[in-house]
Homo-oligomer: A and B are copies of this chain.
Amino acid sequence: MKKQEIVLTGDRPTGPLHLGHLVGSLQNRVKLQDLYKQYVMIADVQAMTDNFENPAKVRENVMEVMLDYLAVGIDPNKTDFFIQSMIPEIAELTVFFLNLVTVSRLMRNPTVKTEIKARGFEESIPAGFLMYPVSQAADITIVKGTLIPVGEDQIPVIEQTNEIIRSFNRLYQVNVFPEAQPLISRVARLMGIDGQAKMSKSLSNAIFLSDSPDVLKKRVMSMYTDQNHIRVEDPGQIEGNVVFTYLDAFDPDTIKVAEFKRHYQRGGLGDVKIKQYLFDVLNQLLTPIREKRAEYAQERGEVMKILLQGTDRVRQVAAQTMSEVRTSLKLNY
């Protein structure tokens, strides 16, 4: 018997998923689907807010992301997958929610501020981009989500959602929406293979779940280690060393990792050797994912059907929620 919480989570389909997603959210979803009702949204409308000049990229990646989901074990019998743009109720709810938030409140949202800076929008912020926390509030509330897995940096989005929920329930004297709670990931963000703080497709420092063994090997071999570890016999640093960070994250054999660390620190353990070991660890992790993914990729029609079936189920939930919203707003004709 699943508990009463409703989980809403998802991804923007702007590229295939990588190891950072695996440790940061995907593995968590595989667990959450056994505990709660879980919805996983492919956020194509949100992806459009900063990819509106390249919709083909968004479209292609809907399937890539879906293949990744199935490959890691998110199970369509336990989780409802859906495509955001196919739920018009989200757009309808967004439009009503926009009345409950001021422009200056949106401008003050720390997540939005950071992302506006990161994208270099400066003075020409697309209105859709400024509004996306309101759109996210609609994503969450349309399925009455109560438990929202997020990183620390996304907490203001949940706060904004709850402000809207409280305004709505108070103004219209109803209790249509339960408040949402962030489920904050305890896993530290996975660094990129170049040693940068964040693994990201746009930084070209990612290992994708779909990478072939050859590509995986190339990426592991190019990893940032210790710049001063020139000869094998030199003592090496493990702090900020990507190889050891990844071993900590992915090798279940923690005793062996500890031994390797001591060996590397006192000298005598070459980068190529330890990278080869990391490659084996990662390849063992990724091989079943890659194989499962390749199987699903043979059946794209079936995969799309799964996605559309989930979308249909969410559409029914969304229609029910919008019906309650219309009644609250007295706009039920």
Interface residues, chain A, with chain B CB atoms under 8 Å away: 44-45, 48-49, 52-53, 55-56, 58-59, 62, 83, 85-86, 88-89, 91-92, 94-96, 98-104, 106, 123-131, 134-135, 171-172, 304, 307-308, 326, 329-331, 333
Q: Verify B171–A52 contact, CB threshold 8 A.
A: yes
Given contacts A52-B171, A104-B123, contact A129 B99 (CB under 8 A): yes
Q: Verify B125–A104 contact, CB threshold 8 A.
A: yes
Interface SS majority for chain A: helix
Q: Verify B102–A124 contact, CB threshold 8 A.
A: yes
Task: Specify how many copies of this chain sit in the oligomer.
Answer: 2
Q: Which of A56, A128, A129 has the most CB of B within 10 A?
A: A128
Q: Verify B131–A98 contact, CB threshold 8 A.
A: yes
Residue numbers in B under 8 Å from A329 (CB-CB): 48, 55
Q: Verify A100–B126 contact, CB threshold 8 A.
A: yes
Residue numbers in B under 8 Å from A106 (CB-CB): 127
Quick one: which of B103, B134, B333 contacts A83, CB cutoff 8 A?
B333
Closest Cβ–Cβ distance, residue A80 to chain B (whole Å): 16
List the B residue with the shortest CB-CB distance to A53. Answer: B171
